[in-house]
Chains A and B, each alone.
Chain A
Amino acid sequence: MTTSHPKHSAKGYAERVVAGDRRALSRLISWAENGNRSFPEALEALYPSIGQAWRVGITGPPGAGKSTLVNELALALRSTQFGQREVGILAIDPSSPFTGGALLGDRIRMEELTGDKHVYIRSMASRKSHGGMARAGVDACDVMDAFGMERILIETVGVGQAEYDVMGACDTVVVVMCPGAGDGVQAMKAGILEVADVLVVNKSDQAGAERLADDLSEAVHTRAIRSDEWLSETGDAWSVPVVLASAGKGENIDKVLEAVAAHRAMLASRGANGLEDARRKKRVAQVRRVVDEVLDERVWSTAELGEHVEDALAKGATAYGVANEVVDQLLGAGALAKTSNKPSANK
């Protein structure tokens, strides 16, 4: 380190993270979670160091064996076979909508990793489950990335928009299913297949695993045919592999990692900037979330606007009428009408 900032300042923490200080890494992730006002400055300082990690999202229904699989994947990534990678893990669990509290129990299945200095595990509660969690999740990954993690595994329960947003920021998304939790049709209903780059049928030793794998293969095959036009347009020739594995028994974990590596290779083969292009597209969603959040906070931070709205409603204005007026004031006359008349650009 050539320059030295105060230890507990934004720049100080950023410097420490890049230098490999785990305490600082933990602190900055808390800042991200808490919406600390100094966090953007710290992230800004970390920016040049971000972009080395490969981010793998692991999602699926409760009980599918995600935590056990993450544990096994991390152990494999630490082995010589997969290059003894530095591994960061972000395990996101739901907060109670009633009390705001959360019980985060994913570490129980990752006990073997706690003593390894090359693995960092962080549990995160979803808190207010709109944009905030998605932002904090992506921010936490950015901090781990800057710290020097080569692989980041992000685990979420596969329900809810915010979880999909987090997955949307990953380079490769692994969807984990298991037999006995509904058939392949359930999976299609849930819309979970659309986000998958790799499908894992876990608990492969249980009855119905092969059948589920067949159902899923068929479903993703249908998806590939249906979106043929789009595929040729983007040059995305990826057909989602279905891997049978047993995380509990440590079987076929290498096959899962090989599928992830193949997906990565596919992205990289899309031309010189294949990876960067894919990532930039994902960053757009992040920018949008931050803009939404900042606007929301700025617009509603004072009591005045709320009072104004209440007054207008009391005088007999309609909800849409008041909203229209507020947006006009913020963006200039006719703004709301403009957006609502315009055919939606992103379908």
Chain B
Amino acid sequence: MSDRKIRVLIAKPGLDGHDRGAKTVATVLRDAGMEVVYSGLHQTPEMIAEAALQEDVDVVGLSILSGAHMSLFPRIREALTARDMGDVLLTGGGIIPEEDMTALEGDGFSKLFGPGTRTTDIVAWIETAVNERWAREEA
């Protein structure tokens, strides 16, 4: 593979319409050399998983500020798995309490970032995790 790029889908599930954070993260990841598909507001879990499949992304990044993270994250993971994309990295940010983060990260693929996260930390986590994923693929 001569020219592989990290592909990321940034999406906002649910009903909150605040996408400043999502757009900031999308821009930061683009500036880190990634190809970022931004799919906009009010996406259902099915729409997000379908977009992830069509775009063949390595990472799905969600911005959830509505408090519905405990239902949305698992449903999106489920919808991805149903499309043979269970190994896609799922990450996200928003107002998410510590104990919820721990619970959601339990499945081994996901990582969540709370308010005040440095954007360089997000980039570093994605780069490391995607490179591990590609190495598994080659093996």
Contact = CB atoms under 8 A, between A and B. Distances in A.
Contact of A101 (B3, B31, B40, B53): B31
A208 B41 CA distance: 33
Contacts of A22: 53-54, 83
Contacts of B29: 101
B117 interface: no
A132 B4 CA distance: 13
Contacts, number: 91
Interface string B29-66: 11111111111100000110011011110000000000
Contact of B53 (A26, A123, A128): A26
A111 B48 CA distance: 11
B113 to A, nearest CB: 19
Given A107-B40, A121-B54, A102 B3 contact: no
A107 B37 contact: yes
Interface in A78-104: 95-96, 99-104
A127 to B, nearest CB: 6
The number of chain B residues touching the other chain, given as a range, is 20 to 34
Interface residues of A, number: 33
A37 B31 CA distance: 28
Interface string A153-185: 000000000000000000000000000000000
Contacts of B27: 103
A35 B26 contact: no
B104 interface: no
Interface of A: 22-23, 26-27, 29-30, 33-37, 95-96, 99-105, 107-108, 111, 114-115, 120-123, 125, 127-128, 132
Interface of B: 1-5, 7, 26-27, 29-40, 46-47, 50-51, 53-56, 83-85
